[in-house]
Each structure stands twice: as C-alpha cells, then as structure tokens.
Amino acid sequence: MSFYLTDAEWAAIQLSLQVASLAIAIALPPAVLLGYALARWKFSGHTLVSALVHLPIVLPPVVTGYVLLVLFGRQGMLGSFFEDAFGLVFSFRWTGAALAAGVMAFPLIIRPVKLSFELSGAQLEEAAHSLGTSRFKTFLLITLPLALPGILSGAILGFAKAMGEFGATITFVSNIPGETRTLSLALYTEMQSLSGDAGAIRLTVIAIAVSIVALVFSEVISRRLSRMLGGQHD
Amino acid sequence: MIDVDVSSRVGDFALSARFVMSGGITAIFGRSGAGKSSLIRMITGLSAPDSGRIVFGERVVFDRAVSINVPVQQRGVGMVFQEPRLFPHMNVERNLLYSQWAAGRKSVIGLGEIADLLGIAHLFKRRTHGLSGGEKQRVAIGRALLSNPQLLVLDEPLASLDASRKAEILPYLLKLKTEFGIPMLYVSHSIGEIEQLADTLVLLEAGTVVAHGPIAQMLSDLELPQLASGPDAGSLLFATLNQYDEQWQITEFGLEGQTLRLPGQLGKKGQDARIRIRAKDVALACKAPGETSVRNVISVVIESITETSGPYAEVSCRVGEQYLRARLTRHSVHELQLTAGQLVFALIKSVALDQ
C-alpha cells in the first residue's frame, strides 16, 4: 500500500479546503449577527428562528440537500435570482458545494458564537453607551472583540464540518471530479471501486487528522483569547 | 438643576417619582427593590419611562408628550455602576480615555488631574483584571468623569466592596464633590454612606418618592421612620473647625455659636465638617450641669417630644438653625417635665465626625 496521495486525492483535498473556506466566509457573518440577535434580543418568533437555525443538525442531510436543490437549483426561486442578478450558479458547481457545507456547518458555528455573546452580557455595552459610543461602534469596539474566542472556535468547528460534509453536498451538487468531489465524496468513490481500499484509508486518516487538529486548535485558541481578554478563565 | 417627573410600570411594579435636584450630591435612598435602579436608568436614558418629563437645566431630555427621548449617548451623564464594568480587553489608560478616543468627547478635566485625585496614575498600563475591587471602582469613576458629564450618576458604587474598600473610596468621592462641583446622583441603601456624602436626600419606597429635602432635615424628621428610627438614628450637624488645642490634643468646632470638642487633630482651621450624633448618645439636663466629665454641653430649645409605644421618647431640639435629636426614656421626660419650647442643656456623650 502506498502512503502517497494520488493526484485525484490531492485535488479532492484541495477542493475541500477551497469549499470549506468559502462556506465559512458565507456562513460566518450571518452566524455572528444572528447569534447576537438570539443572545441579546427578545422578539416574537425567537424560538422558531432558533429551531430553524439548528434544523440541519437533526434533519437527514439528504433532505437539506434536496431543499437546497429545490431553492437554489437553476429553476429554483433563489437559484434563478442569483443567476440573473449576479451570474452566480450553484447547482453542480463547487460554489454549490460551499453553500451546502455552509448551511450544514451553520448550527455548529452559531452555537459558540451565541454563547460568547450571552456570556459577555449587555452590561459592558451599557457602560460604553453611557460613555458616548453609538450602538454600532459599541458592537465593533466592545461586543465583537469580547466574543472573538467564541467566533473563532465556531469558525474552526464549522470549517472542519464543512471539510467533511457529505450528504447534503452529494444530493445538491452531485459527485463531479474536480468540481464537487470533495474529500468525503472522493472517499466514498474509492470505497465503491474494487481497488480503492488504500485510497480510502489514506483519505480516512486525513479526515480524522483534520477533525482532531480543528478541535484542538479551537480549544487552544479560545482559551488563549479568553485569557488575553481577561475573561472567565483566570 | 435636574427636574424629574416620571412614571412607569413593569409587570406588577409601578414606579412614580417626582423630584428636583440642584447642585451637590443628591442621594436616592431606599431598600433593595424600592425602584432606585429603575429610576436612575430612566434618568440616564438606559430605559424610557411610560410617561413624564426629565429636564437637565434648560434641556429637555425626555418628554413623552412631545416624543422627546434623547439617547443615553447624548445625555451627557457619566455612570458608575455597582460593578466596575471596565472593558477587559483594554488597559486602564484606554479604559479611562474611552469616551475620548472612541466617542470624540473632550474633557474639561485632564487625565492627569483625575488620575492624581483618584490615585490611579500608577495603574495606567495595567490590565484591568489584575486590579483590586477598590482600584477597579476608582478607574470606573475616573472613566465616567473623563466623559465630560453634566451629571454623574453612581448606582451603589460601593455595594460590591467590603468595608475597608468602602472606606478607601469614600474620601475620593468627597474630593470629587469639593474639587469639581459636578452634580452627582448617588444611589445607595446605606444610610451611613449617604450621611457622609449627600446634601439632598430623595427617599424612595415601593416605587414612590416618599419625601425629599436637605439631608440634615430629612434625617431628623421623625415622620420618616425609615431614616429616624433604629439604634443608630440621630442627627447630622454642620459645623466649622475653629481651632486645634495642641496641649490637650482637642479639636474645637463651632456649631451655631457654641463649641463642640472632639479628641485628636481633625483637619484645618476654617474647614467645614459634618458631625453625626446618635440620638441615644444625647442626654438632656434642665440646669447647666456643674462638674461633669462630659465635654460637650450645648444649650438647645426643645422643639417637639414624640412618645413612642415603647419605653422611649424622641426629643427634637433646636440649635440655632439646626436640629439635634435626643432619645430619652418616657420616664425621664415625665420626671423632668420637659415641654416644647423649653430651654435645656444637651449633654453629648459621643460624637462622630463624618467629614
């Protein structure tokens, strides 16, 4: 058995990194805003929004993928809008894989983000308001920096999840080599072929390594940041 | 001058407050749950009353009738909370100057001046979580002052500190009052702090302002059992330091033309002083006592005698323009045949200097 990755496997890993990066770039800003809203504001439909956000965790991934296909396919409501307005196509493209990965990673990102907003509380914001900074500026100068450990650990967890997303991706954008065949899909493909055991093992090791590194990294970063920010850890 | 007339209802709790404060320190006193914090949140703009009007000097900052509600950022109120609420990701200096670099405020009082006054200049480069509770609260006070406030609101700033830390902060608050003359609203449930600091007192009970007025008058008002009962109840008298007698190490204070003597060197000549005398430490005599070890004997006129249901009677006496309270047994009031308008001598066994 060779320990070296084939070109196709390298391509899958590179694609996974690319997809996961875009997925986080898409998912992080709304996760931060929504996390803040859920942590700080009381509004009607709070429970409903919270449930919707967490839906991808419990929903069968194939269902999420299918919903994405219906909404973001070329005939779908949102899909045709994005194509007409920005020339952006999701179906059977790597951008679609990123969208699927972003949706699946969203609950994992928003959880620590929301938690860190809840922890920092509204008290410091009140103090900042009384010292003259507007709501927006207070968010940028006080709230956001203090939530950074949560945001970063959410982003890292989300990244790991996006790297390995399978069900929603294969349903929504299929398994096209070089376009949508990410790490998990490549692994699945190798499992299907008679001579693919070695490749499957190589990709499995990589998938496990990525996950462990992400988990450790997220833990270390959030601890170090909290200490730096003078948070609860000391 | 600050004119407050607000009412608000949250759930079962109704708050309705009306008072006017001029310069100096106005204390809002009440037990916990009386609505003190709710009231000052409305004054500072952190929350809005259901109805009413709040005016700072000439400026209307809230008026429900014409939909004026100046946001907290523009009210020019410096706030010190019960917890210091320092920004943990900035050092002390960045915290102190926050309103200047982040909100573009310009302070009349300089950073150096405030840091010296509060004794925090050596902490500038420190991170906030390494500071003691007292240091944190001093930084919070400095930060509020540097935002160039028209009014400084302190919401139980000492409540989270232990007794020795409290004693550490109080002198700084007194210095603020004398040095800068910023009007202050001081919320507390400790009558001890209020006696030392306040000029005016607003008494809040179950969401309503029960009484407000000058501190000494309020403290000796027997109609206000919240302030005037209890074992430590007494009177607050304003006196001037006349001289220090070096031989006997006694400081003499002038009180309405009479003299009070306190042991120790207690300040400089001409200095104003607040003197607190507990009602139970005052005895009354119909004739000037002859030889006695009590050093403080002043002549007073009985204003009123209020007999309680228990063994005691509360006697309110006038000393010039001020009031001195004595708590006697009803038995001695009857035996001495004390009546209102009578000239008597007050023997003061113990005196505490607040300031």
pLDDT per position as a tens digit, B31-54: 888 899 899 999 999 999 999 999
pLDDT tens track for B125-169: 999 988 998 899 999 999 999 999 999 999 998 887 888 888 878
Closest CA to B255 of B213, B200, B317: B317
Of the pLDDT bands very low, low, confident and very high (cuts 50, 70, 90), residue B345 is very high
CA separation (Å) from B265 to A38, B269, B271? Answer: 60, 10, 12
State which amino acid sits at residue B307. Answer: E
**Under an 8 A CB cutoff, do A130 and B127 touch?**
no
What residues in B contact A129, CB-CB < 8 Å? 46, 71-73
User: What are the residue ranges of helices labelled H in chain A?
Assistant: 7-40, 46-58, 61-72, 77-86, 94-120, 123-130, 135-138, 144-164, 167-173, 183-192, 197-228
Identify the residue whose tokens are 């931060």: A32
Mean pLDDT of B75-86: 93
Kindly tell me if the per-residue pLDDT of A233 is higher than 50: no
Average pLDDT, chain A: 89
What residues in A contact B74, CB-CB < 8 Å? 132
Cβ count near B128 (within 10 Å): 21
What residues in B contact A134, CB-CB < 8 Å? 73
| CB nearest A229 (choices: B78, B85, B88) | B88
Q: Which residues pair with B318 in a beta bridge?
A: B301, B323
Q: How high is the pLDDT of residue A230? A: 60
**Does residue B151 contact residue B76 with C-beta atoms inside 8 Å?**
yes
What residues in A contact B89, CB-CB < 8 Å? 145-146, 228-230
CB pairs under 8 A between A and B: 70
CA separation (Å) from B75 to A51, B43, B44, B147, B222? Answer: 40, 9, 7, 11, 37
Tokens of B110: 């300089």
Output DSSP code: residue A143: I
**Does residue B120 contact residue B135 with C-beta atoms inside 8 Å?**
yes
**Residue B49 forms contact with A (CB below 8 Å):** no
pLDDT tens track for B161-203: 888 888 878 888 888 888 888 899 999 888 888 888 899 999 9
How far B125 CA sits from the closest chain A CA (Å)?
14
ipTM of the complex: 0.81
Q: How high is the pLDDT of residue B290? A: 81
**Residue B292 forms contact with A (CB below 8 Å):** no
**Under an 8 A CB cutoff, do A130 and B144 touch?**
yes
Rounded to whole angstroms, how far apart are CA atoms A182 and A104?
Answer: 15
Region of B332 on the Ramachandran plot (φ > 0 left; ψ -120 to 50 alpha; else beta):
alpha
**Does residue A96 contact residue A72 with C-beta atoms inside 8 Å?**
yes
